[in-house]
């Protein structure tokens, strides 16, 4: 990558066979834009986790594309766009997304979906909603996770429970499909009967054995040409000397193991998920770009130690257009939490960092950055990956000088105001990871590459 002039630091960028882009916070860090920037250097772009809970916005030639299941590499003709086995696929949403892209003139012929990817069935969404409703009614709602209600957790649970799980390949195996749907409906009979009360005939039909089989068979036929052994496809790319870009969904702090459990999603968002979710071993990954916003956001419930409930928080939300791509929910906003980011960089082995939305902070007199927590009277700079402990953390801030000027037209580190450069250097020094990219606006060109 070209070095920007005038800055005294240089960091070598290796030429790896595989690169991963991963969020270092609670999702929505702007991964879509970075994947879009890096995609041209790669032969395939692959998703390895999550489902239609994710939302990537990419602006190309002034057109905004909102992608949920399909990797943003699809916007580059001739590239393979792979939905790996670790993704939970809502096949009806996938068809909707393919049709939406086609209507905007995007060639989707490079898309392949793993036959081993698990299917999000309509009853998974029903269960997700019922669980959230029940949790919202308990203890003043403090136990609700605030999921996207896209059936993600129930679909991953089904996979681990096995007997009633349906994989993409099963959609075109009638006998297997019938058996699995029957078992699922038997196991979920009580829940589905409860949900069906007061519903229309059409709604009740949508969760009946026959209704489910008919719908699943039809969507399976539609998607049959895209189904593939994506692990083999990816290894084929590598054996031909090609490069793969892995695109993580959600964020490290929403990872089911390493995030702020239980306020997390159902999958392995961290880079280690590439091994299980795409079948490509960790030894192939040479570059890991960790994406972080210049501040913090979180959608749904769970601790956000640096959360702002004041005018500054409101201003950041409006300037940063902090509303969910998938659900439209306003995002909770807070100061940058570097304790959390450093932890995420460590878990992912980030080789470089990209800071997004730095332009949103312009105009603030001073900017606070969290560098430690006080927990139970003890000061610590270690992130507790557990919601109960984190909920009791009081952030310790370092106040940095703000930068007044609009920076959305800046294209080199040298042209950034000195205070903005110091902010970037502070991130780098605190995390010990080089900042490779700084994004100052949604457009492709609004990017500073060091
Ligand atoms: P689920 O993934 O729908 O089960 O939701 C679990 C938690 O993860 C909730 O707090 C969601 O708001 C959050 N979440 C899931 N996907 C995303 C995402 O792409 N961006 C931000 N938050 C997400």
Q: What is the pLDDT of residues 204-252, one digit of tens each?
A: 999 999 999 999 999 999 999 999 999 999 999 999 999 999 999 999 9
The residue nearest atom 19 of ligand 1, judged by CA position, is 54
Query: Considering the domain boundaries, does residue 4 fall inside one?
Result: no
Query: Is the CB–ligand 1 distance for residue 28 below 6 Å?
Result: yes
**Predicted local distance difference test score (pLDDT) of residue 5:** 42
User: What's the CATH code of the domain at 309?
Assistant: 3.90.170.10
Query: Considering the domain boundaries, does residue 10 fall inside one?
Result: no
The residue nearest atom 15 of ligand 1, judged by CA position, is 53
Which neighbouring-strand residues pair with 352? 289
Active site residue 56: yes
Same domain, 128 and 111: no
User: What's the CATH code of the domain at 201?
Assistant: 1.10.300.10
Query: Is the CB–ligand 1 distance for residue 147 below 6 Å?
Result: yes
**Predicted local distance difference test score (pLDDT) of residue 327:** 78
Single out the catalytic residue among 36, 42, 43, 56: 56
**Predicted local distance difference test score (pLDDT) of residue 2:** 41
When divided into structural domains, the chain yields a total of 2
Same domain, 254 and 399: yes
From residue 155, alpha-carbon distances to 119, 174, 184 in Å are 7, 20, 12
Same domain, 204 and 290: no
Same domain, 364 and 218: no
Query: Considering the domain boundaries, does residue 202 fall inside one?
Result: yes
Query: Is the CB–ligand 1 distance for residue 55 below 6 Å?
Result: yes
**Predicted local distance difference test score (pLDDT) of residue 350:** 98
- Using one digit for the tens of pLDDT, what is the confidence trace for 156-214? 999 999 999 999 999 999 999 999 999 999 999 999 999 999 999 999 999 999 999 99
Query: Considering the domain boundaries, does residue 1 fall inside one?
Result: no
Query: Is the CB–ligand 1 distance for residue 177 below 6 Å?
Result: no
Q: What percentage of the chain reaches a pLDDT higher than 70?
A: 96
- Domain ranges, residue 239: 16-115+229-449
Last residue of a domain, one of 200, 225, 250: 225
Query: Considering the domain boundaries, does residue 343 fall inside one?
Result: yes
Query: Is the CB–ligand 1 distance for residue 299 below 6 Å?
Result: yes
Same domain, 125 and 110: no
**Predicted local distance difference test score (pLDDT) of residue 10:** 61
Outline where DSSP puts E strands in 213-310.
Answer: 227-228, 244-247, 285-293, 296-298
Ligand 1, from 30, 53, 54: best to mutate by most atoms within 8 Å of Cβ? 53
**Predicted local distance difference test score (pLDDT) of residue 334:** 98
Last residue of a domain, one of 225, 241, 269: 225
Same domain, 430 and 311: yes
Distance CA 278, CA 82 (A): 9
**Predicted local distance difference test score (pLDDT) of residue 3:** 42
Same domain, 109 and 161: no
The residue nearest atom 8 of ligand 1, judged by CA position, is 265
DSSP secondary structure, 148-187, as one string: -SSSHHHHHHHHHH-TT--BGGGGG-HHHHHHHHHHHHHH
The neighbour count for residue 148, using CB atoms within 10 Å, is 25
Same domain, 167 and 295: no
**Predicted local distance difference test score (pLDDT) of residue 4:** 43
The residue among 152, 172, 262 whose CA lies nearest residue 213 is: 172
Give buried/exposed letters for 278-316 (b at 16+ CB in 10 A, else e).
Answer: bbbeeebbebbbbbbbbbbbbbbbbbbbbbbeeebbebb
Distance CA 346, CA 338 (A): 12
Query: Considering the domain boundaries, does residue 9 fall inside one?
Result: no
Last residue of a domain, one of 225, 255, 289: 225
Structure tokens at 289: 């770009």
Point out the residues of the chain with pLDDT beneath 70: 1-16
Distance CA 98, CA 112 (A): 12
- Using one digit for the tens of pLDDT, what is the confidence trace for 317-333? 999 999 987 778 899 99
Is the CA virtual torsion 185, 190, 193, 194 positive or negative?
negative
Same domain, 251 and 192: no
Query: Is the CB–ligand 1 distance for residue 54 below 6 Å?
Result: yes
Active site residue 28: yes
Distance CA 197, CA 204 (A): 9
Same domain, 410 and 444: yes
Query: Considering the domain boundaries, does residue 155 fall inside one?
Result: yes
Ligand 1 atom closest to the Cα of residue 128 is 4
**Predicted local distance difference test score (pLDDT) of residue 33:** 87
Query: Considering the domain boundaries, does residue 6 fall inside one?
Result: no
**Predicted local distance difference test score (pLDDT) of residue 57:** 75
C-beta of residue 350 within 8 angstroms of C-beta of residue 24? yes
**Predicted local distance difference test score (pLDDT) of residue 6:** 45
CA of 178 to the centre of ligand 1 (A): 31
Same domain, 109 and 126: no
Same domain, 48 and 76: yes
> pTM for the whole thing?
0.93
């Amino acid at each position: 990558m070209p070095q920007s002039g005038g800055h005294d630091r240089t960091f070598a960028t290796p030429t790896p066979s595989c690169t991963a882009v991963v969020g270092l916070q609670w999702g929505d860090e702007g991964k879509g834009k970075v994947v879009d920037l890096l995609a041209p250097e790669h032969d395939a772009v692959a998703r390895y986790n999550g489902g239609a809970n994710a939302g990537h916005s990419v602006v190309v030639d002034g057109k905004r594309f909102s992608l949920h299941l399909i990797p943003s590499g699809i916007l580059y003709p001739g590239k393979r766009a792979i939905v790996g086995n670790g993704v939970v696929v809502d096949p009806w949403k996938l068809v909707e997304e393919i049709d939406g892209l086609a209507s905007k003139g995007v060639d989707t012929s490079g898309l392949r979906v793993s036959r081993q990817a698990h299917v999000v069935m309509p009853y998974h969404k029903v269960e997700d909603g019922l669980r959230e409703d029940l949790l919202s009614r308990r203890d003043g709602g403090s136990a609700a996770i605030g999921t996207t209600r896209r059936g993600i957790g129930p679909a991953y649970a089904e996979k681990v429970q096995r007997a009633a799980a349906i994989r993409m390949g099963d959609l075109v195996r009638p006998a297997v499909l019938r058996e699995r749907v029957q078992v699922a409906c038997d196991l979920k009979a009580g829940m589905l009967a409860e949900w069906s009360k007061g519903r229309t005939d059409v709604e009740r039909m949508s969760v009946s054995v026959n209704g489910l089989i008919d719908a699943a068979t039809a969507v399976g036929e539609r998607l049959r040409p895209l189904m593939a052994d994506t692990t083999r496809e990816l290894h084929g790319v590598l054996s031909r000397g090609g490069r793969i870009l892995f695109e993580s969904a959600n964020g490290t702090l929403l990872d089911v193991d390493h995030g702020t459990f239980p306020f997390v999603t159902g999958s392995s968002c961290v880079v280690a998920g590439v091994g299980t979710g795409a079948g490509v071993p960790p030894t192939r990954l040479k570059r890991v770009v960790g994406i972080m916003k210049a501040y913090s956001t979180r959608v749904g419930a769970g601790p956000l130690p640096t959360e702002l409930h004041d005018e500054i928080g409101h201003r950041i939300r409006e300037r940063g257009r902090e509303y969910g791509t998938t659900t439209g929910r306003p995002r909770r906003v807070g100061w940058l939490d570097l304790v959390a980011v450093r932890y995420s960089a460590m878990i992912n082995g980030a080789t470089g960092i990209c800071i997004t939305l730095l332009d949103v902070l312009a105009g603030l007199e001073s900017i606070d950055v969290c560098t430690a927590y006080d927990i139970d009277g003890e000061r610590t700079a270690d992130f507790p990956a557990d919601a109960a402990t984190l909920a009791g953390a009081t952030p310790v801030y370092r106040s940095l000088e703000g930068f007044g000027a609009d920076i959305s037209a800046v294209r080199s580190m040298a042209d950034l105001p000195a205070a903005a450069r110091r902010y970037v250097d502070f991130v780098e020094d605190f995390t010990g990871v080089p900042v490779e990219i700084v994004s100052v606006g949604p457009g492709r060109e609004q990017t500073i590459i060091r």
